[in-house]
Structure 1
Amino acid sequence: MSEGGNEEMEVSPLGAEPELVRPVDGKLAAPQVPEGRRAAATFIFLTVTLDMLALGMIAPVLPRLITGFMAGNAVNAAQMLGIFGTVFAGIQFLFSPVLGSISDRFGRRPVVLLSNFGLGLDYLLMAWAPALAWLFVGRVISGLTASSVPTAMAYMTDVTPREKRASAFGMLGAAFGMGFVLGPAVGGILGSVSPRLPFWVAGGLSLVNGMYGVFVLPESLKKENRSPFSWKRANPVGSVALLGKSKVLMGMAAVLLLGYTAQQSLMNVYVIYCDYRYHWSDRTVGLSLAAVGIASGLYGALLVKRAVKVLGERGAMSVGLICGAIGWVMMGYSKTGLLLWAGIPILNLMSIVWPSAQSIMSAEVGPSQQGQMQGAVNSLRGMAGLVGPGLFTYIFSKSIGVGAVIHAPGMAFYVAAGILILSLVVAESVRPRKLVK
């Protein structure tokens, strides 16, 4: 790469066989793995990990900051926290397709790097915020800059052979898991010093990662594979139109949307469920959530590749959905918490579903539409984030207490299991005659 990393550089596909080097004596030497390819893949992995780490770090302290700005009024603070969460999900829903389409036009490198620097500066803004309005503006900007994850996914698609994409997406899934585990733990430790410290640290990490990327991240999208930017495509409605391009795309999109919605039960009900049913301490709840993140990370890093090799992408996806449904039922039925702990590793076999589905979808569109497609996938996460919290907290509230419609504290998890079974039916209904292996 040239100085400053501005020139486009062809990146060898991840997992492809490196070229043999022929020495002077004419004998073939051992294969050499290009350093540029390794560094670029490492950077993308670090970017996703740090994005999730930063989001996790501020999770334990954001409510405290909001409460402080609202003079300690817990009720008003809880309502404002809900508004912050909804706005963040809405921004992700709206802008993920925009950034994905921009990366299809101008390349992945500038979008990923600008997101790193933007996210870093935004966290510094939130760390400094002297009033609630400034904190809200920062949350809006973080929703926008965090929408670069689809571009990272598209980058991996550009440089990964078709047959190895599920494994590559699995590694990015492991990055999500690592951030999920480490973020809240680090944020809690730093927040005990000052509720603003996690924001300063998160901002510094993002800026350092951006500086690292300036030197190691080449462009992955060749100029001949780029497409003109169009607002008709760069919006959630246009993204849905892309997902309607084929029956397979529509089916996989439905699988992902249903799966992401089911996951919202864990994000929004799990803590209050454990408190209501088991009276667990914060430490026990934290340890159990750490177990969820560790299982998700290990499966993404170690299991996806093997599962796809043995079962094929569709077989792995079906097994993951079935195990996820079983895991939800175990967690909902557990009366003492013991079955819940046993259900965690089974539930997290869902981790093999998302990379398998995204790999199948990536084969349905050309190189010039990968950013738009990945943006559409992230919009599905945003849609689930808009619907899931209200849905599952309502179900939980109606299944406990004196006024319960049916007294079943685990009902929200049973509904999540039913949603996964429905997504399994959808996945099987779009199975083509020739299976994708």
Structure 2
Amino acid sequence: MSLININTSEKEKQEELEEKSEEEETKSNAKIAIKKAQKVAAILLTAIGFDEYGGTLVYPFVPKMLKKRFHISKKNVGVLSGVIEGSFKASSFFSCFYLGYFSDKFGRKPIIIFSLFMVSITLLLFGFAWSVPLLIILQVIAGLTDGSEVVTKAVFSDLTSGVLNNYRSFLFAAMSACYAFFRGLSSATVSIFFGHDFGVESFKKNPYLFPCIIGAIIVFIVAIITYIFFSDKGLMPKEVEPFVHKFKNLKEGFKYVWANRLLRKLVIVFSLCDFSNGSVFVLMILYATLDYSEGGLGFSPNETGVIFIVFGIGTTIYELLWYNKLVKKIGVRKLFLLGSLVTAVCASMFPNFTINNRSFGITCNMEMGCFLNLYSSLLLWNDVFALKRSYND
């Protein structure tokens, strides 16, 4: 009996030691994974932030550029501003599937570097553009070659597919915060540098050139830094690789997504959300730059930039400090609905700030964007979280 007891106790001790060693190994692996994720996330957040910086830098002065430089009539400024600013996202719609597919096949790094370089080049050329069609073409090219958002989301999903699963919501919140912060930073660049010629004749004749040059140089430097310090080796988990290589081509992957009812609903809903939010974004710029005598705010590009600086700071604070807390407290679904409601209400109030408001077209378009936001929220409300169950099935 004593020998049996001794053997049993030794086995128990051995099992305890094995459990402890496994726990220590798990903790050690988690620490290594966290350090690696922090480095990758810091580089990527900087890259996509400056990608957004370059993509939105021109927005505050597009209406004035159309009126002053290209002598576009007031009745056509709104239409062309929408086309110029919207062509970036519209063209991204057609290319994001391909860029995401290519990043799976050839790596994340080449797509991000390529995107940053193209943003830098198109931004620089935007300042030199001599016609409205060229402005539109440059925005289309920038949109077609911009895959940083798609790739970053894929990398964050890769990073948080294992022991770092709890960090996923924080990384995506940080991503949204980066977009807001760097959008504000791009507006700050316009506010600081627009209208200053520094005694250079070219800047006197073309006040839109200097902000574009500054922005292009900054994005170019970030592209080089990203090329040097970012590595995409070993980011994709081994269990994910078979799924990625499951599809022979993009068409098969798209069919898979569209065949899933809930994924299909997500695509439709977020398309509607992007449409409504994008329209509100453009219309706010038009409203801010519209002459006060015509019911707008009569802001210069510098002052319009200040509006987006304030928005950027506010959004950054919210995403970093309160987003995770709200997700844990009320859940993603309720938070999504709440965010859409707040966006709709605030955006519908924005065109009515001036007492003498006669910008009827802007007001109506704002309201359309708001209703789309509400509709898309309600569409998503019912069963989006059954998505997890469908994957488990």
Q: Please show how residues 423-434 of structure 1 align to structure 2 within 5 Å.
A: 423-432=377-386
Per the TM alignment, residue 66 of structure 1 is displaced from its structure 2 partner at its CA by 4.4
Post-superposition CA distance 1:163-214 (Å, at most 9, x none): 3322211110001111222212312322212311122122212211111112
Among the aligned pairs, what percent are the same residue? Answer: 19
User: SS in structure 2 opposite 1:218?
Assistant: coil
Q: For the structure 1 residues 279 and 159, does the alpha-carbon distance in structure 2 shift closer, same or farther, using more than 3 Å as the test?
A: same
1:19 aligns with 2:19: no
Q: Distance in 1 between matches of 2:351 and 2:223?
A: 47
Post-superposition CA distance 1:129-165 (Å, at most 9, x none): 4555544432222112323311111111111233332
Q: For the structure 1 residues 421 and 81, does the alpha-carbon distance in structure 2 shift closer, same or farther, using more than 3 Å as the test?
A: closer
Q: Distance in 2 between matches of 1:281 and 1:247?
A: 47
Residue of structure 2 in register with 1:204 after alignment? 217
User: SS in structure 2 opposite 1:221?
Assistant: coil
Q: Indicate conservation of the 8 Å contact 1:100/1:148, yes or no.
A: no
2:311 to 274, 289, 292: 292
Q: Distance in 1 between matches of 2:153 and 2:315?
A: 18
Per the TM alignment, residue 254 of structure 1 is displaced from its structure 2 partner at its CA by 3.5
Could you tell me which amino acid in structure 1 is paired with residue 236 of structure 2? L
Per the TM alignment, residue 74 of structure 1 is displaced from its structure 2 partner at its CA by 4.9
Q: Indicate conservation of the 8 Å contact 1:325/1:421, yes or no.
A: no
1:162 aligns with 2:179: no
Q: For the structure 1 residues 418 and 208, does the alpha-carbon distance in structure 2 shift closer, same or farther, using more than 3 Å as the test?
A: closer
Residue of structure 2 in register with 1:57 after alignment? 57
1:252 aligns with 2:266: yes
User: SS in structure 2 opposite 1:282?
Assistant: coil
Residue of structure 2 in register with 1:263 after alignment? 277
Per the TM alignment, residue 299 of structure 1 is displaced from its structure 2 partner at its CA by 2.1
Unaligned runs of 5+ in 2: 1-25, 197-206
Residue of structure 2 in register with 1:216 after alignment? 229
1:332 aligns with 2:348: yes
The count of corresponding residues between Structure 1 and Structure 2 is: 337
User: SS in structure 1 opposite 2:145?
Assistant: helix
Per the TM alignment, residue 416 of structure 1 is displaced from its structure 2 partner at its CA by 1.4
Unaligned runs of 5+ in 1: 1-16, 22-30, 339-394, 401-408
Q: Indicate conservation of the 8 Å contact 2:60/2:285, yes or no.
A: no
Q: Distance in 1 between matches of 2:350 and 2:95?
A: 40
Could you tell me which amino acid in structure 2 is paired with residue 123 of structure 1? L
Q: Please show how residues 47-126 of structure 1 align to structure 2 within 5 Å.
A: 47-67=47-67, 70-71=70-71, 73-74=73-74, 79-126=79-126
Q: For the structure 1 residues 192 and 20, does the alpha-carbon distance in structure 2 shift closer, same or farther, using more than 3 Å as the test?
A: same
Q: Distance in 2 between matches of 1:303 and 1:186?
A: 27
Post-superposition CA distance 1:234-263 (Å, at most 9, x none): xxxx64x34334333233334323332332
Post-superposition CA distance 1:391-416 (Å, at most 9, x none): xxxx953xx9xxxxxxxx57844861
- Look at both structures and tell me which one has the larger radius of gyration over its CA atoms: 2
Post-superposition CA distance 1:348-376 (Å, at most 9, x none): xxxxxxxxxxxxxxxxxxxxxxxxxxxxx
Q: Distance in 2 between matches of 1:59 and 1:132?
A: 14
Q: Distance in 2 between matches of 1:206 and 1:182?
A: 12
Q: For the structure 1 residues 269 and 321, does the alpha-carbon distance in structure 2 shift closer, same or farther, using more than 3 Å as the test?
A: same
Q: For the structure 1 residues 81 and 200, does the alpha-carbon distance in structure 2 shift closer, same or farther, using more than 3 Å as the test?
A: same
Q: For the structure 1 residues 148 and 165, does the alpha-carbon distance in structure 2 shift closer, same or farther, using more than 3 Å as the test?
A: same
Residue of structure 2 in register with 1:342 after alignment? none
Q: For the structure 1 residues 79 and 422, does the alpha-carbon distance in structure 2 shift closer, same or farther, using more than 3 Å as the test?
A: closer
Q: Indicate conservation of the 8 Å contact 1:329/1:414, yes or no.
A: no
Q: Distance in 1 between matches of 2:373 and 2:158?
A: 32
Post-superposition CA distance 1:74-132 (Å, at most 9, x none): 55655543432343232111111110110111111111112122222332333344555
Could you tell me which amino acid in structure 2 is paired with residue 270 of structure 1? M
Q: Does 1 or 2 have the higher relative contact order (CA < 8 Å, sep 6+)?
A: 1
1:139 aligns with 2:139: yes
2:299 to 282, 294, 316: 282
1:190 to 160, 173, 193: 193
Q: Is the helix fraction higher in 1 or 2? A: 2
Q: For the structure 1 residues 215 and 73, does the alpha-carbon distance in structure 2 shift closer, same or farther, using more than 3 Å as the test?
A: same
Q: For the structure 1 residues 18 and 124, does the alpha-carbon distance in structure 2 shift closer, same or farther, using more than 3 Å as the test?
A: farther
1:306 to 297, 304, 325: 325
Q: For the structure 1 residues 77 and 83, does the alpha-carbon distance in structure 2 shift closer, same or farther, using more than 3 Å as the test?
A: same
Q: For the structure 1 residues 243 and 70, does the alpha-carbon distance in structure 2 shift closer, same or farther, using more than 3 Å as the test?
A: same
Residue of structure 2 in register with 1:319 after alignment? 335
Q: Indicate conservation of the 8 Å contact 1:325/1:417, yes or no.
A: no
Q: For the structure 1 residues 200 and 164, does the alpha-carbon distance in structure 2 shift closer, same or farther, using more than 3 Å as the test?
A: same
Residue of structure 1 in register with 2:201 after alignment? none
Residue of structure 1 in register with 2:148 after alignment? 148
Could you tell me which amino acid in structure 1 is paired with residue 94 of structure 2? L
